[in-house]
Structure 1
Amino acid sequence: MEAHSFGALNYVALIVYLAAIMAVGVYFAKRQKSSDDYFKAGGRIPGWAAGISVFATTLSSITFMSIPAKAYTGDWTFLVGQYMAIAVLPVVFWFYIPFFRKLNLTSVYEYLERRFDVKMRLFGSISFMLFHIGRISIIIYLTALALMPFVDISPLTIVFLIGVLCIVYTFMGGIEGVIWTDVIQGIMLSIAAILIFTMICFNVDGGMFKIFSFAAEHDKYFPADKFAWSWTDSTVPVLCIGFFFAALQQFTASQDVVQRYIVTDNIEETKKALITNAKLVACVPIFFFAVGTALYVYYIQNPELLPADFNTGGILPFYVISQMPAGIAGIIIAAVFAASQSSISSSLNSISACFTSDIYEKLSDNPSSEQKLKVGRLLTVIAGVLGVCASTYLIYSNESEIWDAFNSLLGLMGGPMTGLFMLGIFVKRANALGALFGVVASVVTVVCLRQFTDLNFFFYGVFGTIVVVIVGYIMSLFSAQPKSQHTVELTVGR
């Protein structure tokens, strides 16, 4: 399929967006006087802004494009998974937020050394950094791959616009710049979803009523067979369990989200952040699924507009470029860029926070705040360059099926990490030996499940978490009990 001409108005819209994002980075650069400013924003972030930032961080451009594609080819079953980010909030509110704010951590993995030992801290921190460098490269790669067939922009230009500019504004603005650009990007994502759906409704014969009635007639919402239990298929019960544990990992053991708990002035603002995120999660994903269903009805009514043998994974950018007015299409493509950059910038700042706190401070002799700021900025550049280079390699090597493989590895890393924090926070008897055996047993379990069974990958994080807690507790019984004074500060409950 030939790429469509992007057009002058679309270029103007995209350039205006990119310039605005860079301006935010430049504006907040002058506030970055210390490592606390760079990684914690000096507690200056209001709760509502932190909440939009969490939403934008967890919604990548791949989600932005893949949800409509999934609703186009299938149904709305995966929508239930989006709401698991709301279901975990009572646990996060009651236990984790007060706990993390009390400890005043720069890197969440500092806790693992205080509770267990330095090995667990390094395991958590290094795993996070490697995973997120990979995540950066794949988000850039898949965004470029999705846009290349539809716009006359070279893949390297797409990589540069997404990756390199993201490195620059993250380098300058720190977490404060990242969060305020996330606010812009999160608003753009939400408006884009609503705008696309609204415009499709005007182009479908019968409008919105026809879209929803047609979808109901063709069982495009929640088919009855998707409510059955399965160990292999992504049915509703499987999605609820899998997404719940994935959300638990994000909100309790992942630096990029947990870092938002300490950028506000007080605990009430932190809770307000997650309430804001919950409101967005409750509303915006519905529009993404509705867009996919609306596109399905639109192309059923206008089959001649869809090329033969079309790859439906790119249905959203195809519609945007081929059917939406010039200028508006540019804004939507800018929203795709925004979805990428919001996830990438958060990963970059979190990687630099982890390296500076967990590795540089351990190896250096009491570094000053200014030294830590310089190292943090340097790591932002290094991590970003590694991600951009990896994405460039993926483009030229024409890799395929990499996103599914990467998603399945999330259980390998996410499950043990979630379980490790759960073990430390809730099991007073747990100690370093138990944590070590628990993590090893968890990783081995998930690898075996992945290699030797047909188990749905949504279960990897579930089993990974449970194994850490159970094995960690049992093995802790065979060695010395932690000092009671030590566990009082670093665990919850009596």
Structure 2
Amino acid sequence: MTPLLVFSIIAGYFALLLGISYFTSRKADNATFFTANRESPWFLVAFGMVGATLSGVTFISVPGEVGNSNWTYLQFVMGNMVGYAVIALVLIPLFYKLKLVSIYEYLNNRFGRSSYLTGSSFFLISQTIGASFRLFLAALVLQIAFFDAFGIPFYVTVFTTILLIWLYTFRGGIKTIVWTDTLQTTFLLLAVIISMFIVVDHLDLTIPGLVNTVAESDMSNIFEWDWRSDRNFFKTFLAGIFITIAMNGLDQNVMQKNLTIKKTSDAQKNIFWFSITFFFSTVLFLALGVLLYKFALDQGISVPESTDDLYPMLALNHFGTVAGIVFLLGIVAAAFSSADSALTALTTSFCVDILDVPKRKVEGQKRTRLLVHIGFTIIMFCVIIIFSQINDSSVVNAVFKVAGFTYGPLLGLFAFGLLSKRQVKDKLVPVVCILSPIICVLLDVNSTAWFNGYKFGFEILLVNAAITCFGLFLLKRPKEANN
């Protein structure tokens, strides 16, 4: 595709987003920005969350990974389904009962102010790093596809990208995100479906033939029962459960959308229908992976050394212009649907949890929110530039992995609060929550030397949460304090 065509596609795409922002942000106030006035249709939220959950990394990686691990990724997604059921049946009723704007307000009710600020701070740190990393990948795609052709430096690409996101989120906030996510999910799924039909046409398959080709492929094996394998069913299934609870149910970015729905029952329906849609969307990605490898074999195309490059290479170079356009829209939509909601969630959490904006005078609330929104936009810009300057994938991945450790204390705090009635010394909770990930990082780095070659996988999240729970157990308040 020519740079001019790429520019036209991206400009048209953002024009749509800005149009949606205009119509959803009229008469917007802080309640609109933070909660969408709790009027979002549950089915709209459910569909839009698919695009936000399937990040740009997933969009590219899942089809290519079929060549390495077959369909074993579906074991993880099966665990996700159980995790979403826990969110719907346990966390959603709790958050609605307490009428929360930020889910970390629960920690204030359960333990106290220090625990509340600790939980919110861990979210702010991990989400800032995670969202910046995902946006960094999206900016790289735009740099290669368009900006490099004109010699425009990367920092200008990043600035332009993040400015566009700010422009369509700064007024309507989460209300705008609910609608733009729907558009972005549509483009993402269209990219997969159109790619599949192009491959089917090239291979001269019928729809029944497509189903048989995928079903009979050796790459469609789902289950791995070898206990030594890192893809063992029980390991990946449990990973799917607890990672979903920690990184979705206890994440303001994800839960803020659910809390825009008016009734608890509708919010629960949203989670259940979203999880079903997400499951079948993943099946589409896996089926596409099988077809991509069959297409490459049939056409005599060499598979790239990095399987992540397989889908982009075929879509942009071998499927024709239409497929290339849809793929570009899909990857941009997948990346931006997670980045824009993250920026909104960061603004919401900082305003509600740290600054307590809803309790301030009305005339100052909107100005404070706007300044915070600008502040996090600048912070994300700086973090992305730092990633680009490091220019070392191992270092960047290490930083991203460390950010993942911050979900362990969140899981521990909520689990301890929900599963016990024990009161703790609130002022010491930050100490426990800081020490827990530090201990887990040390365990993860030295596990092969300390534990006879054992390497931690997802279970480090559970170890992190368990250490946090144990630390909280030791912080029991004296009986007289309870009384």
Relative to the length of structure 2, the TM-score reads: 0.88
Partner Cα distance (1:401, 1:333) in 2: 26
Q: Does 1:367 align with 2:364?
A: no
Partner of 2:450: none
Partner Cα distance (2:472, 2:240) in 1: 24
CA contact (8 A) 2:83 2:240 kept: no
Partner of 1:26: 22
Query: Which deviates more from structure 2 when the two are superposed, residues 441-450 or residues 453-462?
Result: 441-450
Look up the equivalent residue of 1:19 and give its one-letter code.
Answer: A
Partner Cα distance (1:228, 1:113) in 2: 44
Once the two structures are superposed, residues 292-339 of structure 1 have per-residue CA deviations (whole angstroms, 9 ceiling, x without a partner) of 221111111223x448x6533222221111123324422321121111
Partner Cα distance (1:316, 1:379) in 2: 38
Q: Does 1:287 align with 2:284?
A: yes
Query: Pick from 259, 268, 275: which aligns with 2:272?
Result: 275
Alignment of 1:151-230 (within 5 A): 151-154=145-148, 155=154, 159-160=158-159, 162-204=161-203, 219-222=218-221, 226-230=224-228
Q: Does 1:312 align with 2:310?
A: no
Partner Cα distance (1:389, 1:435) in 2: 30
Partner Cα distance (1:370, 1:57) in 2: 33
Look up the equivalent residue of 2:219 and give its one-letter code.
Answer: K
Q: How many residues align?
A: 471
Once the two structures are superposed, residues 348-383 of structure 1 have per-residue CA deviations (whole angstroms, 9 ceiling, x without a partner) of 11111111111112xx89412342222222222221
SS in 2 for 1:79: helix
Partner of 1:347: 342
Structure 2 residues not aligned, in runs of 5+ = 149-153, 448-453
How far apart are 1:137 and its partner, in Å? 1.7
Q: Does 1:385 align with 2:378?
A: yes
Partner Cα distance (2:385, 2:209) in 1: 43
Partner of 2:42: 47
How far apart are 1:420 and its partner, in Å? 0.5
Look up the equivalent residue of 2:93 and give its one-letter code.
Answer: P
Once the two structures are superposed, residues 45-83 of structure 1 have per-residue CA deviations (whole angstroms, 9 ceiling, x without a partner) of 111112123322222111111111211343111122123
Provide closer, same or farther for how the CA distance between residues 405 and 337 of structure 1 changes in structure 2, counting only shifts above 3 A.
same
CA contact (8 A) 1:251 1:258 kept: yes
CA contact (8 A) 1:438 1:472 kept: yes
How far apart are 1:191 and its partner, in Å? 1.9
Look up the equivalent residue of 1:395 and give its one-letter code.
Answer: S
Partner of 1:89: 84
How far apart are 1:409 and its partner, in Å? 2.6
The list of structure 1 runs, each at least 4 consecutive aligned residues, that deviate by more than 4 angstroms after superposition, is: 146-149, 155-158, 205-218, 433-438, 481-484
Percent identical: 21
CA contact (8 A) 1:435 1:472 kept: yes
Partner of 2:245: 248
How far apart are 1:385 and its partner, in Å? 2.4
Partner of 1:399: 392
Q: Does 1:134 align with 2:129?
A: yes
CA contact (8 A) 2:194 2:323 kept: no
Relative to the length of structure 1, the TM-score reads: 0.86
Look up the equivalent residue of 2:251 and give its one-letter code.
Answer: S
How far apart are 1:6 and its partner, in Å? 4.7
Partner of 1:424: 417
Query: Pick from 108, 115, 119: which aligns with 1:113?
Result: 108
Once the two structures are superposed, residues 236-286 of structure 1 have per-residue CA deviations (whole angstroms, 9 ceiling, x without a partner) of 222111121110113431111221232111112211211231121121011
RMSD: 2.8
Look up the equivalent residue of 2:33 and give its one-letter code.
Answer: Y
CA contact (8 A) 1:21 1:181 kept: yes
Partner Cα distance (1:157, 1:322) in 2: 27
Partner Cα distance (1:158, 1:437) in 2: 40
Q: Does 1:13 align with 2:9?
A: yes
Partner Cα distance (1:174, 1:421) in 2: 27
Look up the equivalent residue of 1:249 and give its one-letter code.
Answer: A
Look up the equivalent residue of 2:239 and give its one-letter code.
Answer: G
Query: Which deviates more from structure 2 when the two are superposed, residues 367-376 or residues 62-71?
Result: 367-376
How far apart are 1:478 and its partner, in Å? 6.2
